[in-house]
Chains A and B, each alone.
Chain A
Amino acid sequence: MVGNPRRPLRVLIAKPGLDGHDRGAKVIVRALRDAGFEVIYTGIRQTPDMIAATALQEDVDAVGLSLLSGAHMTLFPQIVEGLRRRGLGSVLVFGGGIIPDEDVPRLQAAGVDRVFGPGTPLRSIAEYLKEKLASKTVAR
């Protein structure tokens, strides 16, 4: 069959850890859906392993992590590691939530490409993903 020249990008939005504040995650889900992404949402209270396994099964292009509890320095790197262990090192990882500026460089060093703080315009997240993942929309 003829190859699909432009497939929709798939993004997993996940909430690791124990905080139940999922409004931010849901706003992102909605914004990305409206920007043409296929968005999978894990729901709250996910372990790093659950998130990495879900990313594998859903074969997503990017994983967005939302966390407001302060455990990002522990959980985000574990998720990146879980993805790499599953051969998903090329999956783009980005994050958001309540994350102090001074933590961002260390998260980036650990493999989180970008951290979006509160007040980020929704459009800029969609544009960031489209730019970063541009090469992936053409046949796999």
Chain B
Amino acid sequence: MARLVLSGDTGALARSLSLIIDESGEADVLIRSFFPKSGSAQKIGICGPPGAGKSTLTGRLVALYRKAGLKVGVLAVDPSSPISGGAFLGDRLRIQDHATDSGVFIRSLATRGMVGGVSHTIFGAIHALEAWGCDRIVVETVGTGQDEVVIARVADTVVYVTTPTMGDEIQAMKAGVMEVADLFVVNKADLSGAHKAISDLKTALGLGREAGCGGWQTPVLGISALSGQGLPELLAGLDEHARHLRDSGEGRERLKRQYREEVSLYVSRRVYQDALSQMDSHLDELVDHKSDPPSVAARMLRGGAN
């Protein structure tokens, strides 16, 4: 199946993604075969509050990249219900124009209990899309707005989407995802207040960063994803950032950051699952006071390490 994906087969990619996302037994084998292609696509993270227009913007980006003849993958993440475990994956609705385009692959993902706006299986999903031949991969986060910084450990280029009505420069000064964005986009820039929102963001950015720090000046762009206004500038900004990553060596650092996150999530899940699988056998000891929680934990961890 891995070979089919590498040859560009859409059905094989769809099946592989499911095996990876469901953490099936075959996932590791697939990821190993896909990994040689890792790092070949520009991974663009789209984050921002709900309703800012992330999905509509994603749809626009897909259209522009297709016009440029590039192959595009989209991973759109929406939250799983903590109550039912179900999810409504609604991002796709705004990207459906590209449903039958063979150069576009869109997969909706549920967070399945992970916090931070992405799910941990996203790394494997990205490997699969790169193996399939994507030139650009757009990862659209859940849209919690403030704390989805994990996206910076997944994507090469982080776009923060906001709107003219999302608050003043005090909001923009807060820690969190505002710190990790490489490009700021004020969407719905046809609404009143757009100029103030843009200048507030620029002010907030100007408070912190040394001019020319790292050689990348974080742009603040006013766009309208609906009308298309400002999109050519955004596309140019994204390409510019890809060039910056390549030329400055920052791209290599970011790849390392992504792999560090992927491997540590892998290790922690493996250790966690292995350790917790023996949990039940220890609970009686605790109830009977034959042992204590720190000792049981230490024993479980030793067991999990081998």
Count chain A CB atoms within 10 A of each CB in B10, B85, B112 and give the residue with the most.
Answer: B85
Q: Is B81 an interface residue (CB 8 A)?
A: yes
| Cross-chain contact B24 with A140 (CB below 8 angstroms) | yes
Given contacts A30-B88, A86-B11, 20 further A-B contacts (CB under 8 A): A1-B25, A1-B28, A1-B270, A3-B23, A32-B86, A35-B84, A35-B86, A36-B81, A40-B89, A42-B92, A47-B100, A51-B99, A53-B100, A54-B99, A54-B106, A57-B107, A58-B14, A87-B11, A139-B25, A140-B19
Q: In the bound complex, how far is the Cα of B19 from the Cα of A3, in angstroms?
A: 9
Q: In the bound complex, how far is the Cα of B252 from the Cα of A23, in angstroms?
A: 49
| Cross-chain contact A4 with B86 (CB below 8 angstroms) | no
Write the B87-131 contact mask toward A (1 if CB under 8 angstroms, else 0).
111101110100110000111101010000000000000000000
Q: In the bound complex, how far is the Cα of B68 from the Cα of A65, in angstroms?
A: 34
Residues of A within 8 A of B25 (CB): 1, 3, 139
**B12 nearest CB across to chain A (Å):** 10
Residues of A within 8 A of B280 (CB): none
Size bracket of the A interface: 35 or more
Using A1-B23, A1-B270, A50-B99 as known contacts, say yes or no to A41 and B88 having CB atoms under 8 A apart.
Answer: yes
CB nearest neighbor in A for B94 = A43
CB nearest neighbor in A for B108 = A40
The interface residues of chain B, by DSSP majority, are classed as mixed
- Pull 20 A–B residue pairs with CB atoms less than 8 Å apart, ordered by A: A1-B25, A1-B27, A1-B273, A4-B24, A32-B86, A36-B85, A37-B87, A38-B86, A38-B110, A39-B88, A39-B89, A40-B89, A42-B99, A47-B100, A50-B100, A53-B100, A54-B99, A56-B14, A57-B14, A140-B19
Closest 3 CB pairs of A and B: A43-B93, A50-B99, A33-B86
Q: Is B210 an interface residue (CB 8 A)?
A: no
| Cross-chain contact A57 with B10 (CB below 8 angstroms) | yes
A-B CB pair tally, cutoff 8 Å: 114
Residues of A within 8 A of B11 (CB): 56, 86-87
Q: Which of A's residues lie within 8 Å of B, judged by CB?
A: 1-4, 7-8, 29-30, 32-43, 46-47, 49-51, 53-54, 56-59, 86-87, 139-140
**A127 nearest CB across to chain B (Å):** 14
